[in-house]
Amino acid sequence: MERKTLYNVAVVGATGAVGQKMLETLEKRNFPVGEFRPLASARSAGQQVTFKGKSYTIQEAVPEAFEGIDFALFSAGGSISEKLASAAVERGAVVIDNTSAFRMLPEVPLVVPEVNAHMISQHRGIIANPNCSTIQMMAALKPIYDAYGIERIIVSTYQAVSGAGQAAIEELREQSRQILDGVPIEPKILPVKSQPKHYQIAFNAIPQIDVFEENGFSREEMKMVNETRKILGDESIHVTATCVRIPVFYGHSESVYVETRKPFDLAEVRSLLESAEGVKLVDDLQEQQYPMASDAADQYDTYVGRLRRDLFHPRGLNMWIVSDNILKGAALNAVQIAELMVKSK
């Protein structure tokens, strides 16, 4: 890529929940944007979005729309990425993709900047954002992995509805009103819009995110398994995940149990997390301080707390990890990747 002071940026899926946060994050972090080009489906083309105080008309996402673009941030669904990412690359853009379309391809770097930024240089035009739940877990576990190694991870997630898109946010809001007013509800979105059965999310917890695989795990759970091993470059790590949707708008929470390879010192673990980039330790039980989704919402950091040595395994470590799934879990991570590329080039 030619060295520039300013870079032409396209956001694909600019009207969606993540797309909107991408615009906001690019602006807040003062990314050096030259031309800004919001793209979306034909259905959304012609709508207006605001970026840096200026109104822009959304264009339809077609191959020609990527002419002259340096960075194309994709967040419009895997089928759109599969259809258009190569067209963007052919026209000279670096694609930073927020979908699962390319994550597990060997030639595509799967990057969390605080964890494996060195992989960015190996891209062939496409860099993948990991799954939102994987990103926050990797940010918290990387310093522990570097210091002691990790043999096993058991994670249970409690995921906000914003991870399922704007329609799921509206469904939670509407269902909450209806239930409190004593009005019958008719679920239409969760757990998976394309599947025949839908369940109440307001005042409930649904132990399904994405479709189920033949092994009994959901696709979301298998993303955490496979992406963790790829990001850390360690196929020997055993990962088990259970992913649950809960009635929270923003912020994924995770209960994580880790078995390290070498014995760890709990005080040193605290020190490692306190100094880790992008991580904030909130762990004072006497003051009842621990991470909560309501505190992490709209924040850049990944919050870690409830650190404790396991009662029965000498190398077992328990923790609680919370982060804004739309920011660090999606939009912020993508912008950070672009920032590193600008800095390195």
Where do the structural domains in the chain lie, given as residue ranges?
Answer: 7-129+330-344, 134-325
Domain 7-129+330-344 class in CATH: alpha beta
Output the pLDDT for position 2.
52
The SS3 of residue 99 is coil
Q: Which fold has domain 134-325?
A: Dihydrodipicolinate Reductase; domain 2 (3.30.360)
Question: So what's the pLDDT on residue 113?
Answer: 98
Q: What are the tokens at 46?
A: 């012609």
The pLDDT, as a whole number, for residue 294 is 97
pLDDT of residue 339: 98
Q: Give the pLDDT score at 147.
A: 98
Q: pLDDT tens, position by position, for the chain (345 residues)?
A: 455 589 999 999 999 999 999 999 999 999 999 999 999 988 889 999 999 999 999 999 999 999 999 999 999 999 999 999 999 999 999 999 999 999 999 999 999 999 999 999 999 999 999 999 999 999 999 999 999 999 999 999 999 999 999 999 999 999 999 999 999 999 999 999 999 999 999 999 999 999 999 999 999 999 999 999 999 999 999 999 999 999 999 999 999 999 999 999 999 999 999 999 999 999 999 999 999 999 999 999 999 999 999 999 999 999 999 999 999 999 999 999 999 999 987
Nearest to 81 by CA among 20, 135, 128, 26: 128
The residue assigned the tokens 């660090």 is 328
Report the alpha-carbon distance of residue 57 to residue 171 in Å, rounded: 28
CA distance 12 to 30: 19
According to the model, what pLDDT value does residue 121 have? 95
End-to-end CA distance of the chain: 8
Give catalytic residues, as residue numbers: 132, 252
Query: What pLDDT is stored for residue 3 in this prediction?
Result: 55
Q: What is the pLDDT of residue 72?
A: 98
**E strands, the chain, in order:** 7-12, 33-40, 48-51, 54-57, 59-60, 71-74, 94-97, 126-128, 150-159, 238-245, 252-260, 279-281, 302-309, 316-323
Give the model's pLDDT for residue 345: 72
